[in-house]
C-alpha cells in the first residue's frame, strides 16, 4: 500500500478487497466461472490468465 500511495492518503485496506471482489465477479461472468484472480495471502492478488477466454455477453461501444 505504501508503494502504491506513497504513504499519503492511502485508502482503508478493506476497500481493495471490495474492488477485487467486484472485479473477480465480472471476470467470472465473462469466463464461464473460471477464477483467474488468485489471492496471495499476506501479499495481495495475482492475475492468472491461463485459460482466460472472455465471453462478451454485451456489445461494447468504444467512444472515438
* pLDDT one-digit tens code per residue, 4-55: 666 666 566 688 888 999 999 988 887 777 788 888 888 888 888 777 666 6
Q: Which residues contact 35 (CB under 8 A, 6 or more apart)?
A: 24, 27, 28
- In a domain, residue 54? The reply is no
Residue 59 C-alpha cell reads as 456489445
Instruction: Tell me which residue range forms the domain holding 12.
Output: 2-47
Residue 28 inside a domain? The answer is yes
Q: Which three cell numbers stand for residue 38?
A: 488468485
What is the count of structural domains for the chain?
A: 1
Q: Is residue 21 part of a domain?
A: yes
Q: Is the pTM of this model over 0.75?
A: no
Q: Is residue 29 part of a domain?
A: yes
Please identify which residue in the block is written with the cell numbers 491461463.
50
Amino acid at each position: 500500500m505504501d508503494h502504491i500511495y506513497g504513504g499519503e492518503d492511502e485508502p482503508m485496506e478493506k476497500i481493495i478487497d471490495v474492488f477485487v471482489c467486484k472485479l473477480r465477479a465480472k471476470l467470472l461472468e465473462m469466463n464461464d466461472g473460471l477464477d483467474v484472480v488468485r489471492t496471495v495471502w499476506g501479499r495481495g492478488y495475482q492475475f492468472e490468465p491461463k485459460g482466460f477466454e472472455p465471453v462478451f455477453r454485451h456489445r461494447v461501444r468504444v467512444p472515438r
